[in-house]
Every structure is written in structure tokens, then in C-alpha cells.
């Protein structure tokens, strides 16, 4: 009997230890620089809020800064991208909660009941107003339990100190976070659109997970996450890209690029550029300067756009007249490559992983990516066919030697 009790006790103790381990602190995946940034931000934010509110409110109330602002500072400076830390959530969440707290104190005589109702009602209204902000619960509770100094303020508590404290802290966070390269308010990532103006999903979304898959999972999870949906999707896609980098080992742009570059210069005539495109059966020519840095790219589309070839009447005549060099001193049409080339060309570094080219050559609709060195000199060019061939070789290697990528 004692042995059975001992076994049950041992199992219960082991289960308790596992549960306690799950309750332990989890590592925060940020470096020391980010920790220092958040610490200094909170220091400056609360200091500025205290000084300004003391100057404007000291004559009205001794409570020029309330304790829940410390919790708001944690969110605004340590988690500036969190949906719970955005200006609307901070300002509206705190003000709504303050109003609820004062109302509960005035309407409910039982203090413990008033405290409980204030917090629960504040949470409900923050959900309704899309302003969920955890310190709001503390602000509602503080209105009930804050003592005579708080109770004497009545509904003035909503404006001062809560409203003014929140507003000054938000402005401080905007200035500090943006100066330290953490955009605040946090901008939602724009959903990329199909460059071909069709209803199809982007090429990179057709084989893997897509936005609808994420929406289904979030509905099934049915809990509030301290990260926006768009940021979560971005992180998942970046994780997927990192997985591809690991699977494809260290295949770089330099490994797959075409090194024998057919290029032109800014002053190359349109006729010569057209002949070069036809001769080599290619669709684009990088435009390089005298030190082999790219200044633009000229494609078949550039010729069609400037020669008005989308109108098919006299197609050949229009093209011939457009590319033919004008012999007169004055010309009303473009004569050289530099006048019709596309500028602002996207490039990739020679040591960049080939996975980084996938979004450019698929979702962005590009067909050619110039490859450059550290000094931005063009070393080669990668086309869609180069990338497809490289990915095919990797997949073929996986099929022949499946253990190569599982080690």
C-alpha cells in the first residue's frame, strides 16, 4: 500500500515539475542593443511625461502621473510593433477604461464588486472599440481602489491624468521609436498585388501556404495574439524562405549567373541596341557606364512603349522609323538608349543566396536581375531560366541523394 502511494506521489510530483517548467521564463529573442534601446526609451518617455504633466497639472492634482503609465511604457518602447501598443489602443483603451472605472465606483457601493466589474467591463468595451490595451484594466481598477485623491477627481480622472498622460507618452514614443529606426505607429505591410492584373495568387503563394490558410488557422486558434496578422504572415513567409536557404545550401547568385554580359551604353543608338537584342535572341540589355556600374536597363517593352507599338497599324513601319537614326541636327524622337531605358534597376549581390531572387523573378514580374559586387559593378545577370535550372538541379540532387539535405 505504501509503495502504491509512493508511486502516485512520485508521478504527481513529476507532473507538477513539468507544469512548473512550462511556467518558467521564456527567452526573449532580441539582442542587447534592442534591450538597451527599449530601456532608454521607457526612461525618456516616463521622464518627459512626468515633467510636462507636472508643469501643466500640478495645480490641479498631485497625481500628475499614474502608475499604469509604466505598463503602457513597456508596450510602447519594448513592443512598439504590437497591436496592443498602437496609438489608438493606448489612447482610446486608457480613456474608455478610466470612464468605466469611475462609473463603477460611483454606481456600485460594494468595492470588491465594483473593482471586478470595472476591469471586466473595460475589457469588453476595449474589444468593441478595437482598443485592447492591457494597462487599461489597471486604469479601471485604479479608479475604484486609488483612494481619496483619485475619487475626488470624479470624471476629471478620465481627462487628467489619464488622457493627458497617455497622449504625452504616445508622442514621446513616436519621436523616440522613429529616431531609433522602429517605425511607430507600426505600419502594416502592404499586400503585394499581381503585376499582371489577374485574379491569380502570387506565384510564391501557389505552392505553399497563402493568406486564406492563415485566416482559417487564426479562426481555429481563437485567441488574441500580441502580433498583427500581417506581421505574422510576413514572419511565416520569411521562415519558409530560411528553410529554402538551408535546403539549397550555399548556392549564390554568382554560381548561377551568366557572366558573358551583352550590354550597351547610355549613348548607344536605338538601332544598334535593337540589332543586338535580335542577334543574341535576348529580351533585355543592361546599360552600363565606363566603370561597369548599371545606370539602367533596356527591354523589348521599352521599345514597344516608346514606339507606340501597342497600336498594331503599320507595326513594322513604326518600329523601323523609331529605331532608325535621324540624320538631321534636330530630332523629335528618342535616338539613344539612355532616352528610353528603365532606371532604378533592382540588383542582387554576387554572394546573395538564390532564394532572394525568387520573389523578384516571380511576384515582382522581373525577368532579369543584374548581379553586382561590393562596389556595385556588374558581374553578371540572372534570368528566370537561370533560376529555374538551378532549382531543378537542387531538386534532382535531393531525389538522387535524399539523405544529403537531411543531415
> Is the full-model pTM beyond 0.85?
no
43 and 138 inside one domain: yes
d(CA 273, CA 299): 10
Is residue 184 classed exposed, middle or buried when 0-12, 13-18 and 19+ CB atoms within 10 A define those classes?
Answer: buried
Q: Which three cell numbers stand for residue 359?
A: 520573389
CB 86 within 8 A of CB 130: no
285 and 222 inside one domain: no
Reported as a pLDDT band with limits 50, 70 and 90, residue 307 is confident
77-81, 135-139, 206-210: segment of lowest average pLDDT = 206-210
Reported as a pLDDT band with limits 50, 70 and 90, residue 355 is confident
In-domain check, residue 4? no
45 and 145 inside one domain: yes
In-domain check, residue 189? no
Last residue of a domain, one of 144, 179, 214: 179
**Of 215 and 95, which is predicted with more confidence?**
95
**Of 74 and 61, which is predicted with more confidence?**
74
Other CB atoms within a 10 A radius of the CB of residue 39 amount to 12
In-domain check, residue 192? no
The residue-averaged pLDDT of 142-160 equals 93
169 and 58 inside one domain: yes
Peptide bond between residue 161 and the one before it cis (omega within 30 degrees of 0): yes
d(CA 251, CA 257): 11
Reported as a pLDDT band with limits 50, 70 and 90, residue 314 is low
Domain that holds residue 310: 254-400
In-domain check, residue 304? yes
105-114, 135-144, 199-208, 389-398: segment of lowest average pLDDT = 199-208
138 and 210 inside one domain: no
Evaluate if residue 193 carries a pLDDT over 80. Answer: no
In-domain check, residue 194? no
Q: What does the pLDDT read at residue 280?
A: 92
Longest dimension (CA), the chain: 112
239 and 279 inside one domain: no
292 and 230 inside one domain: no
Q: Which three cell numbers stand for residue 71?
A: 505598463
For strands 294-299 and 284-288, give the pairing.
antiparallel
234 and 372 inside one domain: no
Q: Which of 354, 392, 395 is nearest to 371 (CA)?
A: 354
212 and 243 inside one domain: yes
Reported as a pLDDT band with limits 50, 70 and 90, residue 407 is very low
In-domain check, residue 406? no
Q: Domain containing 330 — which CATH number?
A: 3.10.580.10
Contacts 24+ apart (CB under 8 A), 395-402: 398/247
Q: What is the mean pLDDT of the chain?
A: 85
Evaluate if residue 321 carries a pLDDT over 70. Answer: yes
Amino acid at each position: 500500500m505504501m509503495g502504491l502511494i509512493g508511486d502516485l506521489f512520485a508521478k504527481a510530483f513529476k507532473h507538477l515539475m513539468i507544469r512548473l517548467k512550462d511556467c518558467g521564463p521564456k527567452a526573449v529573442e532580441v539582442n542587447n542593443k534592442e534591450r538597451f534601446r527599449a530601456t532608454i526609451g521607457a526612461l525618456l518617455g516616463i521622464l518627459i511625461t512626468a515633467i510636462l504633466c507636472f508643469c501643466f497639472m500640478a495645480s490641479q492634482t498631485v497625481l500628475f502621473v499614474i502608475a499604469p503609465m509604466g505598463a503602457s511604457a513597456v508596450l510602447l518602447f519594448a513592443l512598439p510593433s504590437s497591436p496592443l501598443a498602437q496609438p489608438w489602443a493606448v489612447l482610446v483603451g486608457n480613456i474608455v477604461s478610466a470612464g468605466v472605472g469611475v462609473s463603477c465606483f460611483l454606481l456600485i457601493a460594494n468595492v470588491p464588486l465594483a473593482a471586478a466589474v470595472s476591469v471586466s467591463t473595460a475589457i469588453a468595451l476595449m474589444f468593441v472599440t478595437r482598443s485592447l490595451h492591457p494597462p487599461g484594466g489597471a486604469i479601471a481598477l485604479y479608479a475604484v481602489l486609488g483612494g481619496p485623491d483619485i475619487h475626488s477627481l470624479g470624471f476629471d480622472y478620465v481627462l487628467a491624468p489619464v488622457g493627458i498622460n497617455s497622449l504625452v507618452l504616445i508622442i514621446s514614443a513616436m519621436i523616440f521609436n522613429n529616431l531609433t529606426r522602429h517605425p511607430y505607429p507600426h505600419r502594416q505591410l502592404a499586400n503585394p498585388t499581381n503585376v499582371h492584373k489577374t485574379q491569380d495568387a502570387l506565384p510564391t503563394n501557389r505552392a505553399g501556404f497563402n493568406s486564406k490558410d492563415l485566416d482559417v488557422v487564426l479562426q481555429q486558434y481563437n485567441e488574441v495574439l500580441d502580433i498583427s496578422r500581417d506581421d505574422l504572415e510576413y514572419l511565416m513567409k520569411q521562415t519558409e524562405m530560411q528553410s529554402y536557404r538551408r535546403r539549397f545550401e550555399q548556392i549564390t547568385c554568382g554560381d548561377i549567373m551568366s557572366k558573358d554580359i551583352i550590354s550597351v551604353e547610355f549613348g548607344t543608338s536605338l538601332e544598334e541596341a535593337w540589332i543586338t537584342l535580335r542577334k543574341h535572341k535576348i529580351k533585355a540589355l543592361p546599360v552600363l557606364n565606363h566603370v561597369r556600374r548599371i545606370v539602367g536597363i533596356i527591354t523589348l517593352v521599352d521599345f514597344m512603349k516608346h514606339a507606340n507599338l501597342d497600336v498594331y497599324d503599320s507595326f513594322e513601319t513604326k518600329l523601323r522609323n523609331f529605331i532608325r537614326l535621324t540624320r538631321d541636327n534636330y530630332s523629335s524622337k528618342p535616338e539613344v538608349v539612355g532616352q528610353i531605358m528603365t532606371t532604378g534597376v533592382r540588383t542582387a549581390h554576387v554572394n546573395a543566396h538564390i532564394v532572394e531572387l525568387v520573389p523578384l523573378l516571380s511576384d515582382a514580374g522581373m525577368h532579369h536581375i543584374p548581379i553586382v559586387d561590393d562596389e556595385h559593378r556588374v558581374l553578371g545577370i540572372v534570368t528566370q531560366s537561370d533560376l529555374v535550372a538551378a532549382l531543378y538541379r537542387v531538386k534532382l540532387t535531393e531525389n538522387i541523394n535524399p539523405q544529403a539535405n537531411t543531415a
